[in-house]
Structure 1
Amino acid sequence: MAHNIGVVGDKDSILPFKILGFSVFATTDPTEAREIIDRLAKEKYGIIYLTESLAQHMPDTISRYDATLTPALILIPNHSGSLGIGKKRIQDNVEKAVGQNIL
């Protein structure tokens, strides 16, 4: 079963994902982003990409979806560059799975 892929963030950062066939949802408001993510989760989206700039304002939402199998919430840099949050999450998850930081 194929899952949809959604991208949430500021317009300039997420518009290129539309070319790849992903559903894009433009917002710079963390409250609106939470509502979008919750709606996409209910609509059975398998992967949701979220800009780091929004993610830093919604750690509770990130934690809630970390505890679920789907959707996978993946943090991406915005058009201004990376805040390092997404990379840190990957390192933490690898360390949790393997027992040490191999990255």
Structure 2
Amino acid sequence: MTGKMAIVGDGDSIMVFQAAGVTAFAAENEKKARDILRKIAKDYEVIFLTEELARPLADFLKRFDEAPYPVVLPIPSGKGSGGLGEELVRGAAERALGIDIFFGGSRETSEETHQ
């Protein structure tokens, strides 16, 4: 498995990735997306998942946090962004670095600023 990438999402959202050579899997709902993720997880290093499907699957997706692969990345769908991808990157960076890379400063300073 060398750099294999896939996308799981609605038909419109996956077409651009498919045109760029990314293996695409259409999922019209979270049950279908969960089934696809279970089947393809061992075969791909990076799996993009549209935010509309990622948000209701948040608990299911935690299982992928423990292993180095696959990395499951929520991305905006063709309908726009709900902010989930940014939220997850922010949280991961804060856990790893102890700072909020989007607002600067330490975690404590950032929390005080946003209250």
- The answer, yes or no, to whether TM exceeds 0.5 is yes
Structure 1 residue runs of 4+, over 4 Å off?
Answer: none
Structure with bigger RCO (C-alpha 8 Å, 6+ apart): 1
1: distance between equivalents of 2:28 and 2:54?
Answer: 10
Percent identity of paired positions between Structure 1 and Structure 2: 36
User: How much has 1:41 moved relative to structure 2?
Assistant: 1.0
Q: CA RMSD in A?
A: 1.1
Which AA in structure 1 matches 2:20?
A: L
Structure with bigger strand share is 1
Pairs within 5 Å for 1:42-53: 42=42, 44-53=43-52
Q: Show structure 1 runs of 5+ residues with no match.
A: none
With the length of structure 1 as denominator, give the TM-score of the two structures.
0.93
User: How much has 1:102 moved relative to structure 2?
Assistant: 1.8
1:76-101 CA distances to partner (integer Å, 9 max, x unpaired)?
00011000011000000011110111
1:55 partnered with 2:54: yes
User: How much has 1:3 moved relative to structure 2?
Assistant: 3.0
- Count residues in correspondence: 102
Provide the residue aligned with 1:65 in structure 2: 64
Pairs within 5 Å for 1:84-95: 84-95=83-94
Pairs within 5 Å for 1:7-86: 7-42=7-42, 44-86=43-85
Q: Show structure 2 runs of 5+ residues with no match.
A: 103-115
Which AA in structure 2 matches 1:38?
A: R
Structure of larger gyration radius:
2
With the length of structure 2 as denominator, give the TM-score of the two structures.
0.84
